[in-house]
């Protein structure tokens, strides 16, 4: 698997760290393990996909909300050590 460039440079986990491992675990049917590797991405990615299918576009306001959630998750996961 490819290492996270952000993690290599800073030693911190980005909001997407664990995403590759999460997908691999999902493909092997290990849903609980996949969830704990990156809970925000596990829940958020399908929600964004459904939103896009429903709206066929993502407004700048929705993109800003997603960016704020990603930044917030990145901060929380590094403070809590997740």
In tens, the pLDDT along 9-22 reads 999 999 999 899 99
CA distances from 10 to 6, 39, 54, 76 (A): 6, 22, 37, 16
How many Cα neighbours within 13 Å face the side chain of 54? 7
* Angstrom distance (rounded) from CA 19 to CA 27: 12
Query: Tokens standing for 21?
Result: 């491992």
In tens, the pLDDT along 49-71 reads 998 898 888 888 888 988 999 99
Question: Per the confidence metrics, is the pTM higher than 0.85?
Answer: no
Average pLDDT, the chain: 91
* Angstrom distance (rounded) from CA 13 to CA 78: 6
């Amino acid at each position: 698997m490819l290492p996270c460039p952000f993690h290599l440079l800073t030693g911190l986990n980005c909001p997407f760290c664990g995403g590759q491992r999460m997908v691999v675990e999902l493909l092997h049917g290990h849903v609980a393990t996949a969830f704990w590797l990156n809970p925000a991405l596990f829940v958020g990615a399908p929600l964004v996909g459904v939103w896009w299918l429903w709206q066929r576009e993502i407004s700048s306001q929705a993109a800003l909300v997603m960016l704020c959630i990603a930044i917030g998750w990145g901060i929380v996961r590094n403070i809590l050590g997740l």
